[in-house]
Structure 1
Amino acid sequence: MTAHDRATGSSMSRAGLRFWSAVLAVAVFLIDVLTPLEGAVAVLYVVAILLAARTNRRDDTIVAAAGCVILTISAYLLSHGLETIASPALRALVSLAAIGITTLLALQNHAATKRLAAQARLLNLSHDMIFVRDRGGVITFWNKTAEQVYGWSADDALGQLADELLQTQYPDRREIIESGLLDTGRWEGRVRQRTKDGAALTVDARWALQHDRLGKPVGVLETHTDVTDRVAAHSALVQSEQRYRRMFDASRIGVVEEDWSKLRAALRSLEIAGTSLRDHLAQHPDFVRHARRLAGITDVNPALQAMAGADRASAFIENVERLLGADDRSFLGALIAFAEGEPFYEGETELVRLDGRKVPVLFTITFPPGPDGDRNVLAFVVDITERKQAQDALLAAQAELAHAARLATLGELSASIAHEVNQPLAAIVTSGEAGLRWLRREVPDLKEVAATIGHVVAQGRRASEIVTRVRAFLKKAPAQRDLLEISEIVEDAALLVARELANDDVALTVETEQGLRPIRGDRIELQQVLVNLLINAAQAMSGQPGPRTITLRAGAVDGENLAITVQDSGPGIRPDDLPRLFDPFFTTKHGGMGMGLAICRTTVEAHGGQLAAESTPGAGATFRLTLPYSQEHP
């Protein structure tokens, strides 16, 4: 039934009550006037007033009462007139009194009903489910929100047992809850209920015990708030927190949780004018040290505690400055990333254990977004001790292989070395013999003798330089990073392979730009790279008819790098071999080790450069070595 239907039905009911009230009043009047009944028939007007009062309209009650008074007086006057003042008059007064008392009670009841209706309307405005039940648990009031949430209309719910209708599940025994309600008059708790559709609800219930005028419990007002979504969200949050805690504690990666909110406030208070944040922080190391102390640690997982040699989180937090080291510059980069809104910062540093041992670590600091992100900064720390040891072992193995390659190269260069050493020795012998002849003359020519001695000294120094260069080339020593002139390295490499190239009828052309800036690196390692590339180029043309040429060029390619190219006129490199050319143990030569080019690339990359190969089959191969200039002034 719609609201319009209910309103229409209510109007028809009121009209009917008014009609029957009027009919009854007229019937009582006729009986009182036309019949000889001596009783107080007029008292029946009370029924007519009660019928009018059921319309719940104050005006209807007053109109009905006034009409009944008029009819009572009219009937008395018509039947007895003004002469008889005896028992008929007394009966008339009793009737009027009954009419007045009934009207007064009806009006009071109407006022009370109106107040209750107003209170019920207020309860219907509540966002909570509200219903009233008697001491037996039977529902006597059911508000609009209860209808909407639970699904039962007021007509369906009224008269039902609340616990059975809602299938209520209590956190404790029902008897204990009722006992507490009777003792205190109130009870609050969380219960589970079901709707008409069978959906489960979790509600916060608040009960208030109602008493009559004598203080006897007569009913219970129950107010329920649906917290199903809130409980589900809280449960999900608890599960998420538990899951995070399990991962935090069980992770083998070190994790530290920090609060950077104070650090954010300190950054905002900085007054930077005419300079960048990085430059400002570099000029104010005291602020960086102060900011580091503001990054408070809130928790440390067991993996990081073990990494630092701490037996508990508090031991790590108390010694954090000692553990992270006083001169750790990685915090500056993290601070700048944090200030510039970067999502994370990665770096490498050393963790100083409580026993003093240094542990190399990689770390990533994440800066979560949102207003609370500064309070939940996470740093993930990985111990890379084994990786460092493996890198050191790899570098040592590479050094061994490079030394072995140099020894192998020595065999190929032995004829060239012998030829280079033999030349200054022969020149020394020739100059010495000439000097003796000048001395044996009757008149020794001292000027010529001095000249020949000068030739002897020069050739001796040349021989010494050749021997020194060969020894340095073969020497197994740690890599040195010196300022080097690339023209000198190119010249030394060309001299080392000159004899070998001559034996293979290979013509070497060296083209070096003037004024090239120096580079920083190891002379012997770079010399070895060029020697390997030149010998490989010569061997690639071995047995090839026609002219065999190698062009060695050194020149600038941009403002920050220089390039050295070794170009031959051989058959080139097959396309299938080109992608694997620098792989360890890959070789195209019969009996080759496959380590020469791999070592060359590793050496060049260790110098911050690149080594690449280009080839067109039938048109020779070109190896391009790119090295960065030194940023220092020589």
Structure 2
Amino acid sequence: MSSIEPIDLARASDAVELSPDAVVVRSPEGRVLAWNPAAHALYGWPASEAIGRVFSELVETDVDGGVATMEAALASSGRWEGQVTRRSVRAEARVLLVRAITRRGEILEIAQDVTEHHRQRTALERSERRYRNLFGAMAASFWELDFSTVGAMLRELTASGVRDLREHLTAHPETLRAMMRATRVLDVNDQTVVLFGRGDKNELLGSVEPFWPEESNGVFLESLLAAMGGRPSYSQETKLRAIDGREIDALFTASFPAETVARGKVVVGIVDITARKRAHDALERSEHRYRHLFHHMPLALWQLDARGTVGVFKAARAAGVTDLAESFDRDPDLLRQCLEGMVVREVNQPTMAMLGGRDPEDFAGSVARFWKTRPDTFRRAMEARYRGEATFQEETQIDTLDGRVIDVLFAVARPGPSSDPTVSLVGIIDISERMRARQQLTRLQSEAAHAARVSMVGELTASIAHEVNQPLAAIALNAAAATRWMGRPEPDLDEVRALLTRVHADAKRAGAVITRIREMVALRAPVRAEIALDAIVDDALLFLGHELRAQQVVVHREPTAARVLADRVLLQQVVVNLIANAVHAMAGRPEGSRRITVRTELDDTRARMTIDDEGPGIPEADLERIFDAFFTTKAQGMGMGLSICRSILDLFDGKIVATNRASGGASMAIVLPRA
């Protein structure tokens, strides 16, 4: 190295001073000999303080293999170039591209700041990995198609005088099928083999016609017209057919970049709709290749930046929090922090249409404004995420930008452990129509139950009259006796007072009967409340008391403290119906052998009421149909009673089961979640 000339900065001083890159000259011992203004700006030390000091005392250097390896390479070859990270007490850490040479032991180093370039490259690599991982979870198939022959066929039709291709090809489906046969499959991905094939990719390469049932001709036609019309894409739900003949409900999306359409090529994406409903995070494959698909899925999609919320979670875990729900209860501000920490990064067009936005920028910022009505849903989603659950789904309501509140199916998913933990994907489906239909169904069920109660009251007229007449007769008798006592020369006021007390009690008893009847026949919305099962049995037996005595039926009770959440009147209707059915079932039994057992039981999660009779039982062939609407074994029955009973129990997450007892007779079991 002795033949190499020493570094002469004097001749190049102007160039060094003007250089945008940091130029530093060090002695063999590492002391700074020269230091230009760019070095001052980069490292924070002015030349007056840097020159003469050891470079490593001013600036800390991190490099792969260590600084010693870098210095050794420089000493052996006289040159070194590479990327380092440097920081000083006066400047933040920066990523630099350093080029260094030695001249007689002195080291000339030029450092270029590439921090921003490094950050962008790292972000790009991270983004690409994230979207590739997301696509790996998608139930999506992709096809590369050659439709150059179809383009020629369409141009030939136009040249022959056909002005309306849609009308012509609709009227001539055989021509359209010929175009399908002319569209060739060039390549497919692995998911396509899973969805459409039988394990051999080659059997999918050929004409696309076998995959298109005739009922989907219109979608194929519209995709051709979209391509010919210069549209960037076309998307539609349709039916497709697999190699083995299975029909698949699919979302068909074709993308038409101008450069590929010009070569007669097109890429088609197909998503199994069932899989899409199960996994809303299977919507993007990569930020660059499948951005178009994200924006044309007929589903409201959000991409959220959860860095703020992840920070809240990290702080909670560091504090030893294992149950986020308890923390939310203790500190309501924690939920606000989670809401503010979840920021909208991107939305697609269906989201803007659903929530009243005109531009994606309308959605920028925290998600808090969308959860004013139902923050409880967001809270449960956060609790699920804190527990490590990858997905969360719930029917709820969300606030729109234009002030509406809509019913939605909300689903959120986050990538797996190997992906960016700050990314969350949200899918929202507007279920307003479904909720209105459900409310209409509930109303119709309520009206049917009401009609059944009115009918039941009509059937129990004799029992009701007896229950009312008893206290009324007692009132008349006691009132007459009180009048006679008052008519004596010396009235016995104590006796009169006792008689009037009995009159008052009988009047309350009659009033209670009338109140129960009015509640039974009133048309109202179900009210869920905590009630004791045996109290419902008490009410039912009061209604049926006269009928039970007239038919000489003995009721045996086995009560417990079982309590449930249900509507008292509706549940009373079920029990009255079942006991009345048991009475009717035993009408052919000899007197003295008519017995009904009502038993209530309780376990950890469920409450159960069993009503057993000693009638002939239920024919085995009828057990599966006994709760069907309009099915009846009675000559004068309409077949609605048990069907309505089942509908009522469905409202409260309950069920009813009919069986035959081994000793004879039928058994009806009501099961409800315990309160």
Q: Deviations over 1:517-542 (max 9, x none)?
A: 64443221121111011111112223
What is the count of residue pairs matched by the alignment?
A: 394
User: How many Å apart are 1:243 and its aligned residue?
Assistant: 7.0
User: How many Å apart are 1:484 and its aligned residue?
Assistant: 2.9
**Distance in 2 (alpha carbons) for counterparts of 1:239 and 1:438:** 96
Distance 1:562 1:262, change over 3 A: closer
1:315 counterpart (321, 337, 362): 362
**Distance in 1 (alpha carbons) for counterparts of 2:423 and 2:322:** 30
Query: In structure 2, what is the equivalent of residue 122 of structure 1?
Result: none
Query: In structure 2, what is the equivalent of residue 501 of structure 1?
Result: 548
Contact kept, 8 Å, 1:613 with 1:621, in 2: the verdict is: yes
1:536 counterpart (554, 557, 581): 581
> Which is worse superposed, 485-494 or 406-415?
485-494
Tell me the secondary structure at the aligned position of residue 304 of structure 2. strand
Q: Deviations over 1:181-208 (max 9, x none)?
A: xxxxxxxxxxxxxxxxxxxxxxxxxxxx
Contact kept, 8 Å, 1:364 with 1:380, in 2: the verdict is: yes
2:297 maps to 1:257: no
Structure 2: gaps of 5 or more residues = 1-266, 270-283
Query: In structure 1, what is the equivalent of residue 613 of structure 2?
Result: 568
Distance 1:277 1:432, change over 3 A: closer
2:437 maps to 1:406: no
**Distance in 2 (alpha carbons) for counterparts of 1:337 and 1:239:** 25
Contact kept, 8 Å, 1:259 with 1:295, in 2: the verdict is: yes
**Distance in 2 (alpha carbons) for counterparts of 1:449 and 1:376:** 83
Query: In structure 1, what is the equivalent of residue 531 of structure 2?
Result: 484
Query: In structure 1, what is the equivalent of residue 631 of structure 2?
Result: 586
**Distance in 2 (alpha carbons) for counterparts of 1:251 and 1:547:** 71
Contact kept, 8 Å, 1:573 with 1:616, in 2: the verdict is: no
Contact kept, 8 Å, 2:562 with 2:602, in 1: the verdict is: no
1:369 counterpart (397, 401, 416): 416
User: How many Å apart are 1:405 and its aligned residue?
Assistant: 0.4
**Distance in 1 (alpha carbons) for counterparts of 2:313 and 2:562:** 42
Tell me the secondary structure at the aligned position of residue 368 of structure 1. coil
Tell me the secondary structure at the aligned position of residue 588 of structure 1. coil
**Distance in 1 (alpha carbons) for counterparts of 2:390 and 2:328:** 20
AA aligned to 1:361 is: V
2:505 maps to 1:458: yes
> Which is worse superposed, 326-335 or 486-495?
326-335
Contact kept, 8 Å, 1:428 with 1:456, in 2: the verdict is: yes
AA aligned to 1:586 is: F
User: How many Å apart are 1:419 and its aligned residue?
Assistant: 1.0
Contact kept, 8 Å, 1:308 with 1:316, in 2: the verdict is: no
Tell me the secondary structure at the aligned position of residue 624 of structure 2. helix
1:352 counterpart (369, 377, 399): 399
User: How many Å apart are 1:502 and its aligned residue?
Assistant: 2.9
Matches within 5 A, 1:180-259: 244-259=290-305
Matches within 5 A, 1:27-426: 244-261=290-307, 263-270=309-316, 271-273=318-320, 275-318=322-365, 320-325=367-372, 328-374=375-421, 376-426=423-473
Query: Which of 1 and 2 has higher RCO (CA within 8 Å, sep 6+)?
Result: 2
Distance 1:464 1:250, change over 3 A: same
AA aligned to 1:479 is: P
**Distance in 2 (alpha carbons) for counterparts of 1:239 and 1:439:** 96
Q: Deviations over 1:370-394 (max 9, x none)?
A: 5334354321111111111111111
**Distance in 2 (alpha carbons) for counterparts of 1:502 and 1:579:** 32
Distance 1:415 1:239, change over 3 A: closer
Distance 1:263 1:236, change over 3 A: farther
Distance 1:481 1:376, change over 3 A: closer
Tell me the secondary structure at the aligned position of residue 273 of structure 1. coil
User: How many Å apart are 1:545 and its aligned residue?
Assistant: 4.4
AA aligned to 1:279 is: E
Q: What TM-score, normalized to structure 2? A: 0.53
Distance 1:316 1:499, change over 3 A: same
Query: In structure 2, what is the equivalent of residue 43 of structure 1?
Result: none
Tell me the secondary structure at the aligned position of residue 580 of structure 1. coil
Contact kept, 8 Å, 2:374 with 2:397, in 1: the verdict is: no
Query: In structure 2, what is the equivalent of residue 51 of structure 1?
Result: none
User: How many Å apart are 1:361 and its aligned residue?
Assistant: 1.0
Structure with a larger share of its residues in strand: 2
Query: In structure 1, what is the equivalent of residue 100 of structure 2?
Result: none
Query: In structure 2, what is the equivalent of residue 605 of structure 1?
Result: 650
AA aligned to 1:413 is: L
AA aligned to 1:459 is: D
Contact kept, 8 Å, 1:366 with 1:379, in 2: the verdict is: yes
Query: In structure 2, what is the equivalent of residue 190 of structure 1?
Result: none
AA aligned to 1:564 is: M
Contact kept, 8 Å, 2:409 with 2:429, in 1: the verdict is: yes
AA aligned to 2:299 is: I
Tell me the secondary structure at the aligned position of residue 508 of structure 1. strand
User: How many Å apart are 1:558 and its aligned residue?
Assistant: 2.0
Distance 1:544 1:477, change over 3 A: same
Structure 1: gaps of 5 or more residues = 1-234
Q: What TM-score, normalized to structure 1? A: 0.57
**Distance in 1 (alpha carbons) for counterparts of 2:422 and 2:558:** 62
**Distance in 1 (alpha carbons) for counterparts of 2:669 and 2:635:** 24
AA aligned to 1:292 is: L
Query: In structure 1, what is the equivalent of residue 66 of structure 2?
Result: none
User: How many Å apart are 1:262 and its aligned residue?
Assistant: 5.1
AA aligned to 1:609 is: G
Contact kept, 8 Å, 1:367 with 1:377, in 2: the verdict is: yes
Q: Deviations over 1:159-187 (max 9, x none)?
A: xxxxxxxxxxxxxxxxxxxxxxxxxxxxx
Query: In structure 2, what is the equivalent of residue 619 of structure 1?
Result: 664
**Distance in 2 (alpha carbons) for counterparts of 1:363 and 1:320:** 13
Structure number with bigger Rg: 1
**Distance in 2 (alpha carbons) for counterparts of 1:239 and 1:392:** 39
Tell me the secondary structure at the aligned position of residue 374 of structure 1. coil
Tell me the secondary structure at the aligned position of residue 399 of structure 1. helix
Distance 1:411 1:371, change over 3 A: same
**Distance in 2 (alpha carbons) for counterparts of 1:236 and 1:522:** 53
User: How many Å apart are 1:236 and its aligned residue?
Assistant: 12
AA aligned to 1:601 is: R
CA RMSD after TM alignment: 3.0
Distance 1:421 1:257, change over 3 A: same
Contact kept, 8 Å, 1:278 with 1:336, in 2: the verdict is: yes
AA aligned to 1:387 is: R
**Distance in 2 (alpha carbons) for counterparts of 1:371 and 1:463:** 72
**Distance in 1 (alpha carbons) for counterparts of 2:570 and 2:647:** 10
User: How many Å apart are 1:348 and its aligned residue?
Assistant: 3.0
AA aligned to 1:587 is: T
Q: Deviations over 1:212-234 (max 9, x none)?
A: xxxxxxxxxxxxxxxxxxxxxxx
User: How many Å apart are 1:309 and its aligned residue?
Assistant: 0.7
